[in-house]
Amino acid sequence: MKSIYWSGVLIAAAVIVTVLLAANPVRAETTQFERLYGELLARYWHPAVRINGVETTVFDYARMKQDTQRPDSLFNRTLQAIEFVDPGQFKEENHVKAFWINAYNFAAMRLVADHYPVDSIRSLSISLIKYPWSKQAIRIGDKPYSLKQIEKDMLLKPFKDPRIVFAVSCAAVSCPDRTAEPFVAKRLDEQLDTMIRRFFKNPGKGLRLDRETRTLTLSWILKKDRHLFQENGQNVLGFVLPYLEPDVRSWLKVHTVTIDYFDHDWTLNDLAQAD
């Protein structure tokens, strides 16, 4: 009798879940994409190695490429899941941001995986003009998107959050380190701030302070997108300061420095490129 009772309970629970998912298909599809994308990151992410002398987290693109060859693979299931998402239904700001950041980063990985082996996302194999950001990279719902469309139109224009340019990955050594987990709405602000804080601790690509020469060398990202950090009377240094260690922040507040920028290393953040 007990087994019959619990079987009935399980069946009822399954019916309820099915009804809820049917009533909110967008949430179901997004959860599936988030879950599969999270599995993809965890599978192919690799802790920091050195590439051209710079410490950076990487991905095992060689294994990822093998994954793309099988129709039922994790990579292709992730690709199918994002194609069924309707982003127009998202209402909560951090949910929208997290989805589009993840979509951008997955699309960048797809460009690389589709053309691998390459040594850079700017490879001629991906774009003959070395500008892959205008290429159609991913289909979401019934619409194709380029990386540029996602970054500019879906993220920067509506939200004007300068942290976004650190979160969307250019799949290169000089980009902020990727993590083994996707961005999620409920922890998005914490994830973004932690990522930038860690980035500025990397003296090979994020920030390097030479107190003797009073030279502050910053990521090229802060130069390329300087207009994003100069709103409301703020400047680049004003954006950087809150993310620094207290002693570094205090020193910079009382000393005048010359600001310089790292050269951007476009080498792919690929395990195969490790020194």
Q: For position 9, what pLDDT does the model report?
A: 41
Whether residue 28 is predicted with pLDDT greater than 80 in this model: the reply is no
Axis crossing angle, helix 2-23 with helix 25-44, rounded to the nearest 10 = 100
pLDDT digits (tens, 9 = 90+) for 40-81: 999 999 999 999 999 999 999 999 999 999 999 999 999 999
Residue extents of the structural domains in the chain: 24-273
Arithmetic mean of pLDDT, 29-37: 88
Other beta carbons within 10 Å of 145: 21
Q: For position 27, what pLDDT does the model report?
A: 54
Share of the chain above pLDDT 90, in %: 83
Arithmetic mean of pLDDT, 198-218: 98
Q: For position 115, what pLDDT does the model report?
A: 97
Q: For position 233, what pLDDT does the model report?
A: 62
Whether residue 248 is predicted with pLDDT greater than 90 in this model: the reply is yes
Q: How far is CA 57 from CA 60, 175, 246, in A?
A: 10, 10, 26
Report the C-alpha gap between 123 and 126 in whole angstroms.
5
Whether residue 13 is predicted with pLDDT greater than 60 in this model: the reply is no
pLDDT digits (tens, 9 = 90+) for 117-176: 999 999 999 999 999 999 999 999 989 999 999 999 999 999 999 999 999 999 999 999
Whether residue 205 is predicted with pLDDT greater than 70 in this model: the reply is yes
Q: For position 97, what pLDDT does the model report?
A: 97
Q: For position 20, what pLDDT does the model report?
A: 39
pLDDT digits (tens, 9 = 90+) for 73-124: 999 999 999 999 998 888 899 999 999 999 999 999 999 999 999 999 999 9
| DSSP string for the chain | -HHHHHHHHHHHHHHHHHHHHHH-HHHHHHHHHHHHHHHHHHHHEEEEEEETTEEEEEE-HHHHHHHHTSTTSHHHHHHHHHHT--GGG--SHHHHHHHHHHHHHHHHHHHHHHH-S-SBTT-TTT-TTS-GGGSEEEEETTEEEEHHIIIIIIIIHHH--TTHHHHS--SBTTSPPP-SS---GGGHHHHHHHHHHHHTT-TTTTEEEETTTTEEEE-HHHHHTGGGGSGGG--HHHHHGGGS-HHHHHHHHHS--EEEEPPP--BB-BGGG--
